[in-house]
């Protein structure tokens, strides 16, 4: 087993930036680096899981937030890290690269390669989302969201290659905010009484600070504090959304009367009709969902 296994999103193959990064990896690690490209959804999870069971001690994921999420899920089975002493590193080459903003990885790919050798291991929290009706669960590092944000992701996935996809998350978010009908949710924090919310544009459960290509949605979140930042965004009017979009993007909105922010170790969320849930920018299931934090469950090296 090589010292370093790099799991790379196959879509970056042939890009000039990746070609340079791959050359640099082989200069630094020689025969002690193995690079495996994914070819489809789920490949990163499978490669990570198989490699960890075969003794891999250091994995770097080259891709965006979705590839990171898939790789993290290769570390976890039944909410348990199958190789707690193994480390995960990040080589950002995706569209958003939101998770790496929180943990301080250089977003320049070559710079991220160069800092690998001297990177210091640290432990971060992992979120586990269980979807009881589907009988599935998934791990996440950055955030879970239900509401307007999940509708944005749904539209972006359905319009791959179209103008809205090329334009990016923020323009799509503005379009959705204009048409999205706020939903009432039923929420329980840390096993408490279930409470019905007022109409919400979004429910965000975060361990990282950013989503949507740099929107600072959870400015107070810490990835290793053993808690999840639970944020609700209420029924802002269309005009309010347009006027305050800068505040939302900069993370300066938590003092708004229509928002709430609290810490929790576990949250259960229900809705009267189907509502998709996004984990780390990828559609993962539908409400209801139970989300809990597993404190300092993953060693990262960055």
Give the model's pLDDT for residue 17. 95
- Ramachandran angles phi, psi of 188, nearest 5°: -125, 130
For residue 85, how many other CB atoms are within 10 A of its CB? 8
CATH topology of domain 4-119: Rossmann fold (3.40.50)
298 Cβ contact partners less than 8 Å away, ≥ 6 residues apart: 72, 75, 81, 88, 123, 124, 125, 126, 141
Q: What is the pLDDT along the chain (302 residues), one digit of tens a residue?
A: 889 999 999 999 999 999 999 999 999 999 999 999 999 999 999 999 999 999 999 999 999 999 999 999 999 999 999 999 999 999 999 888 999 999 999 999 999 999 998 999 999 999 999 999 999 999 999 999 999 888 888 777 776 543 444 455 666 666 776 678 899 999 999 999 999 999 999 999 999 999 888 999 999 999 999 999 999 999 998 889 889 889 999 999 999 999 999 999 999 999 999 899 999 999 999 999 999 999 999 999 99
Contact (Cβ atoms closer than 8 angstroms) between residue 177 and residue 241: yes
CA distance 145 to 158: 18
Q: How many CB atoms lie within 10 A of CB 173?
A: 24
Q: What pLDDT, on a 0 to 100 scale, did the predictor assign at position 163?
A: 41
Distance CA 121, CA 9 (A): 23
Whether the domain at 4-119 and the domain at 128-295 fall into the same CATH topology = no
Which string of b and e fits 240-278 if b means at least 16 CB within 10 Å? ebeeebeebbebebbeeebbbbebbbbbbbebeeebbbb
For the entire predicted model, the pTM comes to 0.93
CATH fold for domain 128-295: Tumour Suppressor Smad4 (2.60.200)
CA–CA dist 139, 130 (Å, integer): 9
In this structure, the number of other CB atoms found within 10 A of the CB of residue 229 comes to 23
Tokens in use for 14? 């042939």
DSSP line for 142-207: SEEEEEHHHHHHHHHHHTTTSHHHHH-HHHHHHHHHHH---B--EEEETT---EE---EEEEEEES
Q: Which pLDDT score, from 0 to 100, does residue 213 have? A: 85
| Three-state secondary structure call for residue 99 | helix
Q: What whole-number distance in Å separates Cα of residue 241 and Cα of residue 180?
A: 12
pLDDT at 19: 97
Let me know: does 185 contact 201? Beta carbons within 8 Å: no
Strands 33-37 and 76-77: unpaired
Q: Do you find a cis peptide bond into 33, omega within 30 degrees of 0? A: no
Ordered by start, the domain boundaries in the chain are 4-119, 128-295
Look at residue 170 in the predicted model and tell me its pLDDT: 61
Which pairs with CB-CB distance under 8 Å and at least 24 residues apart come from 171-178? 173/148, 173/149, 173/212, 173/215, 174/241, 174/242, 174/245, 176/148, 176/151, 176/152, 177/148, 177/201, 177/236, 177/238, 177/241, 178/238, 178/241
What is the C-alpha to C-alpha distance for residues 119 and 142, in angstroms, rounded to an integer? 20
């Amino acid at each position: 087993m090589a010292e370093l296994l790099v799991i790379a999103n196959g879509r970056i193959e042939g890009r000039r930036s990746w070609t340079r990064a791959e050359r640099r990896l082989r200069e630094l690690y020689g025969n002690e680096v193995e690079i495996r490209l994914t070819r489809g959804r789920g490949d990163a999870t499978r490669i990570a899981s198989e490699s960890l069971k075969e003794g891999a001690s250091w994995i770097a994921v080259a891709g965006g937030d979705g590839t990171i999420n898939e790789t993290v899920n290769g570390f976890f089975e039944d909410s348990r890290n199958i190789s707690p002493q193994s480390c995960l590193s990040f080589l950002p080459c995706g569209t958003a690269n939101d998770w790496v903003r929180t943990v301080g990885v250089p977003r320049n790919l070559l710079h991220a390669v160069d800092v690998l050798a001297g990177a210091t291991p640290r432990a971060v929290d992992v979120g586990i989302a269980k979807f009881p009706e589907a009988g599935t669960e998934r791990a996440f590092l950055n955030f879970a969201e239900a509401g307007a944000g999940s509708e944005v992701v749904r539209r972006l996935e359905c319009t791959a290659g179209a103008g809205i996809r090329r334009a990016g998350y923020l323009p799509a978010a503005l379009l959705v905010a204009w048409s999205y009908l706020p939903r009432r949710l039923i929420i329980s924090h840390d096993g408490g009484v279930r409470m019905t919310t007022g109409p919400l544009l979004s429910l965000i459960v975060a361990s990282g600070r950013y989503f949507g290509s740099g929107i600072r949605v959870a400015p107070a979140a810490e990835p290793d504090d053993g808690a999840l930042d639970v944020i609700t965004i209420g029924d802002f009017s269309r005009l309010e959304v347009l006027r305050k979009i800068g505040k939302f993007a900069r993370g300066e909105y938590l003092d708004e009367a229509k928002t709430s922010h609290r810490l929790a170790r576990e949250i259960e969320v229900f809705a009267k009709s189907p509502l998709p849930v996004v984990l780390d920018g990828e559609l993962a299931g539908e409400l209801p969902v139970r989300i809990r934090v597993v404190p300092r469950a993953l060693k990262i090296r960055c």
